[in-house]
Amino acid sequence: MILQALFRGKPRALAHACFRLAAPGCVLCREPASEDICAACFRDLPWNDHACARCAQPLPPLPSAICGACARKPPHFDAAYTAFRYAWPVDRLLHRFKFRGHLANGRTLALALGEYLDLRAAPRPDLLLPVPLHRRRLAERGFNQAGEIARTLGRCLDVPVAHDTLRRVRATPAQRGLGRGARRSNLRGAFVCRRPFENLHVAVVDDVVTTGSTADALARAIKQTGADRVSLYALARA
């Protein structure tokens, strides 16, 4: 009745308004869409098309596929794949997902990461390992964003997820605002593996990679248990 009163004498406008209410809308442009992000907005996302093959740092489209930092000191993980650059609107979607509990945004971006891995012909790992949260941080947030990403990605890739295999044993201060060296010191001794990964290819799953320090610390711990290869999968790279 309210819509009829608002659009009296405008049947096409009324029909369009009813359709917008009935159909899911794109979370970015608000146009009717069958998915969370419409096809046009999906194409325009900041895809990480040119990146360092080792750490996924965005690079200009140059012949070399390794950045200077990895050439000087390679990380302990062997390869990194991040679907997006950490830029608008992916940064906005990630903030909603991580800090406001909009899990649908995380699922949508995780499915995009699955497509990205297929396009890059990334070798399938034996296991997906989400970056763990300390129990206090997990209690505050109510969910582990890396675990949610890994759950969707595991179904997409048909790869099992080991949710409780990595453990954060030390509650480290937030990494935001810290330099590369400080981040590494902050994470020293923060993670342990609760099982060996002998001769396995495992992929660490995270939401955003800034310097790669968290993945590097985890990869080091994982390889100490005998893992053959460690990859890094994340939604975005700063």
Domain check: are 76 and 104 in the same one? yes
pLDDT above 70 for 171: no
Domain check: are 85 and 19 in the same one? no
Domain check: are 23 and 79 in the same one? no
pLDDT above 50 for 201: yes
Domain check: are 37 and 50 in the same one? no
User: Is residue 3 in a domain?
Assistant: no
CB atoms within 10 A of CB 205: 29
3-state secondary structure labels for all residues of 24-54: CECCCCCCECCCCCCHHHHHCCCECCCECCC
- Average confidence score pLDDT of the chain: 86
pLDDT tens digits, one per residue of 109-149: 999 999 999 999 999 999 999 999 988 888 999 999 999 99
User: Is residue 2 in a domain?
Assistant: no
Section 11-29 average pLDDT? 55
pLDDT above 80 for 10: no
Comparing 98 with 18, the larger pLDDT belongs to 98
pLDDT at 176: 56
pLDDT at 134: 86
Domain check: are 30 and 100 in the same one? no
Both tokens assigned to 211: 């310097």
Query: What DSSP state is assigned to residue 22?
Result: H
pLDDT tens digits, one per residue of 38-90: 989 999 999 999 999 999 999 998 766 899 999 999 999 999 999 999 999 99
Taking the C-alpha atoms of residue 227 and residue 166, their distance in angstroms, rounded to an integer, is: 13
| Residue type, position 214, single letter | T
- Could you tell me which residues come within 8 angstroms of residue 180 by beta carbon, excluding any fewer than 6 positions away? 211, 213
Q: How many domains does the chain have?
A: 2
User: Which of the four pLDDT bands, split at 50, 70 and 90, describes residue 1?
Assistant: very low
CA nearest to 163, candidates 201, 223, 200, 205: 205
Q: Indicate the burial class of 69 (C-beta count within 10 angstroms; 0-12, 13-18, 19 or more).
A: middle
Range of the domain at 17: 12-44
Domain check: are 31 and 132 in the same one? no
201 Ramachandran zone, left/alpha/beta (phi>0; psi -120 to 50): beta
Domain check: are 97 and 152 in the same one? yes
pLDDT tens digits, one per residue of 145-166: 999 999 999 999 999 999 989 9
pLDDT at 22: 42
User: Whole-prediction pTM value?
Assistant: 0.84
The CATH code of the domain that includes 93 is: 3.40.50.2020
pLDDT at 169: 77
